Amino acid sequence: MLLIYNGQIIHQHLDQSGLSMEELESAVREHGVEKIKQVNLAILEVDGNISVLSDNVSSKSTNKRRGHKIVRKNG
pLDDT digit of tens for each residue in the chain (75 aa)? 999 999 999 999 999 999 999 999 999 999 889 999 999 999 999 988 899 998 865 444 455 555 544 445 555
The verdict on residue 52 lying in a domain is: yes
The verdict on residue 50 lying in a domain is: yes
The CATH number for 37's domain is 3.30.240.20
The verdict on residue 74 lying in a domain is: no
Closest CA to 56 of 42, 39, 73, 72: 39
The verdict on residue 10 lying in a domain is: yes
Domain that holds residue 16: 2-64
Closest CA to 17 of 36, 37, 44: 44
Residue 65: what are its φ and ψ, rounded to 5°? -75, 130
Q: Where are the beta strands (DSSP E) in 10-60?
A: 39-44, 49-54
How many independent structural domains does the chain possess?
1
24, 9 Cβ separation under 8 angstroms: yes
